[in-house]
Amino acid sequence: MPIVRKPNIGRIDQIIRFLISLAMIYIGFIDDRLIPDRLSATILGIFGIVNLIVAFVRYCPLYAVTGINTYTQPRHD
């Protein structure tokens, strides 16, 4: 039986997460001039990948634990 989670990330939150994730992945894995320490850069890139996944599935476990919800139901008029 699959686990179904209600989205808790709104559209604006999703877009911001997506853009920040791309920047983190770029800085962490592609441009080694900004963070010369490979370990720190790799950790930043991994956080970027995780944040990108969270943006795509629109569910953040940390939001669920803290009770934050930026998702609004789409209106069907």
Q: How many C-beta atoms lie closer than 10 Å to residue 1's C-beta?
A: 3
Dump the DSSP string for 48-75.
Answer: HHHHHHHHHHT--HHHHHHT-----PPP
Q: What is the pLDDT of residues 33-76, one digit of tens each?
A: 999 999 999 999 999 999 999 999 999 999 999 999 999 987 77
Helix (H) or strand (E) holding 40: helix 38-57
Q: Taking the domains of the chain in order of start, what are their residue ranges?
A: 28-67
CA separation for the pair 14, 51 (Å, rounded): 10
The answer to whether the CB of 5 falls within 8 A of the CB of 71 is no
Look up the pTM and report it: 0.84
Q: What is the pLDDT of residue 67?
A: 93
